Amino acid sequence: MGHKSDWPANPAIYQVYPRSFLDTTGTGEGDLRGVIEKMGYIAELGVDALWLSPFFVSPMVDGGYDVADHSAVDPRFGTMDDFEELVAAAHDAGLKVLIDQVLNHTSDQHPLFLAAVEGDESAAECYLWQDPKEDGSLPNNWLSQFGPPAWTWNHKRRQYYFHQFLAAQPSLNLRNERVQEMHHQEIRFWRDKGVDGFRFDAVTSYLFDESLKDNPPSSPEVHEKMVTFRFVPYSYQDHVYDMLPGDGAAYAENLRKWAGEDAWLLGESTSGNNSLKLVKDFTEEGRLDAMYTVDMPEEGADPEMLGRLFDEVSDLSRYGKWMSSHDQPRHISVRGDGSDRDARFFSMMMAVLPGPWMIYQGEELGLPQPRLSREESVDPVDLIFWPDGPGRDGARVPVPWGEGPAFGFSEGSPWLPMRWESDRAVSAQTEESTLGFYRRALAARKEHGWPEGTVTGHKTKGEVMTIDLDVDGRAWRAVFNYGTDTVSPGLGAPFMASQHCVGDMLGRTAAIWKL
């Protein structure tokens, strides 16, 4: 969209999960002042923007995605003054600020939900309440995305309420005018604080069909290929009634209207099926700038997935690329052996592919996925499926900055155990280590305009994928060797590679050539 003159068309965005970034108060949990303190570090990486996961008032049942006041800073993270200082510091460092907006649901401790429980009918209409069936059972077959039924009984109202995620996150009825006005005000509130864009949590879940009909079954192939979703029966259903009924994507026009033309808007698709098709729908003119889907991390950005992406999403500036987040286990362990080699392989791949790129805090250090014991775990989703769960806690183990028992993250006891190898800490990284490589990859990406490129062809042979790119009239060729055998692309020495390469490519190397 041409009107966003001061946002790069395809930003590189650094995701900060504040609770695990840097603790300046000794509580064992990170805070906003920690982000301010490390603004220079973030800017030096060479990213364009910072995405801040929720720091709003929350009982923290779902790590802050259960919001009890959407327009206030939770005291555990600091104050509104801290937030304002953070925005100013980011802008001074040349970074845009993107914050999460969790509009799909509230916490069950939100005053609106508490009022609904106490019998305030106008508040109740902001959610979805249903009487039980005659035999007391659930109103329909809808499931929550975390596995259990999407309905929880409330004894005061003697009714069930609907929640697409945890029972502690009652889903809002986004067609309700009072809810829309509340969201409009929240978005304006943060724009007035200087926020440049938003990441809309679970944007594909916003609308449900008021008929409340049972979802039909999905085809077996859909759930067979899921990684995180394979734990849950959610992918056994075709979600035709509980999400996106009619043109659910058109709802994004409200988000655009409320946020303004100049805001950069990113949507999270949690749907699993048909997700790539949704990218196009949600990013039509007047809607969001980009969407990201679970396909890339769930399928390890393998040749089949990338091929599908290139075939189905014609404009890659609409697709946010990523491999790790606070929701997914760290990719170099799930899709590799946890080595620096694999961290470089994926970062090179993300740097050369067109479109926005989201980097999750710590991946630039080559952090692997730690294993936590049941006693150490706090995430309700990990705990439901223990010990096989998705590993969201592992992905949230705090960032190692330096030495000592808490690696300079905190002077207290970290809220999740930190057992990193000492060479992963920021202080131990060098120009030659993973961090140095991320900085070079980000710099090269910007300098050569790779994010603005278009894919002109791709082919896969065995475990090697070759992608032809056109960047402003210049031809480039990227080759990704996913396997462990050495291959010879026959192109001579590459322009840039994830590991030393003179012509032959070692296993697990990504490289790019100027043709």
* Contacts with ligand GLC, residue ranges (CB under 6 A): 62-63, 65, 102, 165, 201-202, 268, 270, 326-327
Q: Shortest Cβ contact with ligand GLC: which residue?
A: 65
Quick one: 170 or 414, whose CB is closer to ligand GLC?
170
Minimum Å distance from CB 59 to ligand GLC? 13
Which letter does DSSP use for residue 291 in this model?
E
Minimum Å distance from CB 130 to ligand GLC? 21
Quick one: 89 or 294, whose CB is closer to ligand GLC?
294
Minimum Å distance from CB 394 to ligand GLC? 14
Q: Quick one: which of 97, 102, 98, 99 has its CA closest to 70?
A: 102
Quick one: 116 or 168, whose CB is closer to ligand GLC?
168
Cα separation, 515 vs 154, in Å, equals: 65
Residue 283 CA, chain-centre distance (Å), reads: 17
Cα separation, 12 vs 47, in Å, equals: 5
Quick one: 63 or 451, whose CB is closer to ligand GLC?
63
Minimum Å distance from CB 188 to ligand GLC? 22
Q: Which of 81, 131, 210, 261 is catalytic?
A: 261
Minimum Å distance from CB 468 to ligand GLC? 34
- Identify whether the C-beta of residue 331 lies closer than 8 Å to the C-beta of residue 294: no
Minimum Å distance from CB 239 to ligand GLC? 15
Cα separation, 102 vs 199, in Å, equals: 9
- Identify whether the C-beta of residue 42 lies closer than 8 Å to the C-beta of residue 12: no
Name the token pair of 341: 């080699």
Quick one: 108 or 201, whose CB is closer to ligand GLC?
201
Quick one: 65 or 206, whose CB is closer to ligand GLC?
65
Question: Given CA atoms 439, 445, 451, 452 in this order, what sign does their dihedral have?
Answer: positive
Helix (H, G, I), strand (E, B) or coil at 397: coil
∠ at Cα 356 (353, 358), nearest 5°?
Answer: 100
What number of other Cβ atoms are within 10 A of residue 427's Cβ? 11
- Identify whether the C-beta of residue 390 lies closer than 8 Å to the C-beta of residue 381: yes
Minimum Å distance from CB 105 to ligand GLC? 7
Quick one: 267 or 408, whose CB is closer to ligand GLC?
267
Residue 225 CA, chain-centre distance (Å), reads: 20
Rounded to whole angstroms, the maximal C-alpha distance in the chain is: 73
Quick one: 63 or 354, whose CB is closer to ligand GLC?
63
Which letter does DSSP use for residue 368 in this model?
-
Q: Quick one: which of 155, 504, 144, 454 has its CA closest to 313?
A: 454
Quick one: 268 or 382, whose CB is closer to ligand GLC?
268
Helix (H, G, I), strand (E, B) or coil at 190: helix
| 514 Cβ contact partners less than 8 Å away, ≥ 6 residues apart | 474, 475, 476, 495
Burial 208-232 (b: 16+ CB within 10 A, else e): beeeeeebeebeeebbeebbbbebb
Q: Which of 201, 363, 379, 382 is catalytic?
A: 201
Minimum Å distance from CB 63 to ligand GLC? 6
| 232 Cβ contact partners less than 8 Å away, ≥ 6 residues apart | 143, 145, 146, 147
Minimum Å distance from CB 158 to ligand GLC? 27
The H-assigned helical ranges of 102-164 are 111-117, 121-124
Q: Quick one: which of 354, 357, 297 has its CA closest to 321?
A: 357
Instruction: Please say if 131 is a catalytic residue.
Output: no
Instruction: Please say if 261 is a catalytic residue.
Output: yes
User: How many alpha carbons fall within 13 Å on the CB side of residue 142?
Assistant: 27
Name the token pair of 234: 């959610």
Q: Annotated active-site positions, please? A: 201, 261
